[in-house]
Structure 1
C-alpha cells in the first residue's frame, strides 16, 4: 500500500481508523480551545468586538488558503505526510501563542493554525469518505464527525486552565498534539489517493460538483458560520449580558454535546429515510432553536437547553452534507466535492466571527443568533426545491 501508484484509500485495519479518529479529535480540540480562549483574552485587553471577531476569522482565512491547494498537495505528498505537516504546524503555533502576545502576532499565528487544521481535515475526511461503502456512509461519516465534535466540545474547557496562567491552555493542547504527531509518524501507513482519470481540469470538476450537488455543499458553509460565530461571539455576548468566564466555559460545550448525541442517530436515519429529508428537518429545527436563544437572556438552564438542542440538530451538517454529495456525485468528483466543502466551511467560518462582531459592536448581540437561525431556516426551505440529478 505504500506504492505511490497504488490506490491507497481504504483503511486496512481498525488501528488505522482509530489513528485518524485521534487526529481529528486533536484538530477539533485546537479550534474549540483557541476561539473562546483568545476571544476572552482579547476582550479582557479592551480590544473592540469587531477587531476581536476579525482576529478570530484569521484561523479560517488560513484554512481557506490551504483549501485552494489541498487537492494538489495531497496528490503530491500523500495522506500521511499532509496530516503530519498539519499537526506540526499547529503544534509550533500553539507554543508561540504565549510567547508572542498581541493582536497582530495572534492574527498571524491563527493563520498558521488554520492552514494546519485544514490540511489535517482535508486529508483525513477524504480518506474516510473514499473508503466508505454507500450503504454505511451516513453512519461512518457521522462517527468521523462525532470525533471532531468531541474534540471541539472539549476545547472550551481549556478556558478553566487560564487560572494557572495564560500559557497553560496552549501548552496543554500543544503537548497533546505532539503525542498525536508521534503516533501518526510511527503507525499511519504512507498512502496516496488515486489519480483523476481523463485529465479533466480542476475548475471543470468543481463546476460539475456544484451543478449536481449544490444543495449538499451548502451545509458546510452554514456549519462553518455557526461553529466559528458561536465559539468566538458567544463568549463576548455572554460576558456582556452577565455570564462569568466559568459559566461560558460550562455552556459552550453543550452545543457540541448535543451534536455528539444526535450525530450518529441522524447519520443512521439519513441512511434509512434519505439525507435530504434529514437536512431539511434539522435545518428548520436548529434554526428555530438559535432564533429563540436571545429570549433566554442570562438564564443558565434555558440557554443550556437551547444550545444543546440547536447544536444537536445542526452539528451533523458538515458530515451529512458531505455524505449527501457522495450519494449524488460520481466517485471521480468526490475529491473536488471535498475541496468545495472545505472551501465553503472556511468561507462560513470567516464570515461568522466578522458579522457577529459587527452586530455586537453596534449593540445588537441578539442579532448574532437571530441571523444564524434565519440562515438555517432558509436552507431547510430551499431543500424543498432541490431535486438530485442522476449521476453522470
Structure 2
C-alpha cells in the first residue's frame, strides 16, 4: 500500500491537511493566553490557572491511548472530521458560560479533538513522504502548526470587541476547513501491520530503537506550553505591558517558523541527529540567558526569536529522525509515543512554571528549559541508531 499511498496524497490533500493543522494550532495558541487572562480577571490563583491549562493536555493524553485503534476503525478522513466538529462546537461554549469547573471539562474535550487532528494528519504526512523529502515535508507541517499557534494569541487583541469575538472568528475558520475536508479528502486507512508484534511491545520497541528521536517531542511540548501559559505572568511580574507581552509571545513561534524549513532541508542533507544536537545545545544556552535581558524589550524579543528558531523544529525534526531509524511498521506506534511525550511535556511545563512563580523564582522557568535542552544535546553522544532499516 505504501506505493499507492505516495500517489494518492496529492498537493490538494496535502494543503488541506496543512489547513487542518493551522486551525488546530490556532485553537491551542488562542485558548492558553485568552483563558489565562479571563481566569486572572476572575481572581483565580496562578497555580490554579496553570492546572486549568493542563486540562487540554490531559484530554490529548486520553485520546492518544486509543488513537491508533480509532484511526484503524474510522480511517483518516472520518477521524479528522470528528476532531474538527468536536473543537468547533466546544469553542462556541466557552465565552457564554464562564465557570472554571466547566472550562476544565471543555478544555479536556478540545484536547481530545485537537490531538485527533494532530495524530491523524501528522501520520498521513509521514506515511506519504518519500524519505529524501521527509525533513522538508514534516517541517512544512511543523511550520503550519507554528503559524496557527502564533496567530492564536492575536485573539487577545480581539477581546476589546467582546469576549466571544475571538471564539466566533476561530470557529468560523474551522467550519471552512471542515467543508474542504468533507468535500476533497479521500477516506484512506493506514496499512494493517503485518506480523504478530504484540501491542505493548510495539511501543516499547519503537522507544528502545528511537528514544533519542522521540525525546524532542517532550522538550517541545514542555517549552511551548510553559512559555504560552506562564510567560504572560512572568512578563507582568518583571514589568512588561500587556501589549509588549502579546508582541513577545509570538516571537518564539516566529523564530521557529523562520528556521523550520531551512533546518528541515539541512537535516535531509547533513543528518538529523547532528542537527538536533547542535540546536539543543545552542537553544539551551539561549533560554538560560533570557532572564538576564530583564525588562529590556528588544533584547528579550531577539533572544526569544533565536531560542524559538533553534528549538522550534524539534517536534518535526524528531519525527523525521524517528522515521529514518525505525522500520515502517513501527511508525504509527512511534507517532503515538511522540504525541504522548509532547503531552507529558505540556502538562509538566505550566505546572512547574506555576510552582516556580508561586515561590517567586520567576527565572526558574528559563533555567529549567535551558538545562533540559542542553542535556538533550549532550545525550546525543550516547545514542547510536541500529543499522537495520527495512
TM-score by length of 2: 0.97
Alignment of 1:163-242 (within 5 A): 163-242=160-239
> Which residue of 323, 339, 344 maps to 1:342?
339
Partner of 1:289: 286
Partner of 1:302: 299
Alignment of 1:1-392 (within 5 A): 8=5, 11-391=8-388
Measured after TM superposition, the shift of residue 262 of structure 1 is 0.3
Runs of 4+ with >2 A deviation: 6-12
Point out the more displaced range, 220-229 or 288-297.
288-297
Measured after TM superposition, the shift of residue 44 of structure 1 is 2.3
Cα deviation digits, residues 109-132 of structure 1 (max 9, x gap) = 111111001000000000000011
Q: Is the 8 A contact 1:9 1:193 kept in 2?
A: no
Aligned counterparts of 1:51 and 1:39: Cα–Cα separation in 2: 10
Measured after TM superposition, the shift of residue 198 of structure 1 is 1.0
Point out the more displaced range, 111-120 or 191-200.
191-200
Q: Is the 8 A contact 1:8 1:194 kept in 2?
A: no
Measured after TM superposition, the shift of residue 99 of structure 1 is 1.5
Aligned-partner SS, 1:169: helix
Cα deviation digits, residues 150-184 of structure 1 (max 9, x gap) = 11111111110111122111111111111111111
Aligned counterparts of 1:191 and 1:139: Cα–Cα separation in 2: 23
Cα deviation digits, residues 218-238 of structure 1 (max 9, x gap) = 000000001110000001111
- 144 and 163 in structure 1: CA distance in 2 versus 1, 3 angstrom threshold: same
Aligned-partner SS, 1:252: helix
Measured after TM superposition, the shift of residue 9 of structure 1 is 6.7
Cα deviation digits, residues 261-313 of structure 1 (max 9, x gap) = 00011111111111011000111111111111111111111110011000001
Cα deviation digits, residues 345-366 of structure 1 (max 9, x gap) = 1111111111111111111111
Q: Is the 8 A contact 1:7 1:192 kept in 2?
A: no
Aligned counterparts of 1:319 and 1:61: Cα–Cα separation in 2: 22
Q: Is the 8 A contact 1:83 1:119 kept in 2?
A: yes
Q: Is the 8 A contact 1:39 1:52 kept in 2?
A: yes
Point out the more displaced range, 312-321 or 6-15.
6-15
Aligned counterparts of 1:210 and 1:48: Cα–Cα separation in 2: 38
Aligned counterparts of 2:169 and 2:237: Cα–Cα separation in 1: 28
Aligned-partner SS, 2:95: coil
Measured after TM superposition, the shift of residue 55 of structure 1 is 0.6
Pairwise CA RMSD: 1.5
Measured after TM superposition, the shift of residue 199 of structure 1 is 3.0
Q: Is the 8 A contact 1:8 1:192 kept in 2?
A: no
Measured after TM superposition, the shift of residue 10 of structure 1 is 5.3
Aligned counterparts of 1:103 and 1:241: Cα–Cα separation in 2: 27
Aligned counterparts of 2:101 and 2:216: Cα–Cα separation in 1: 32
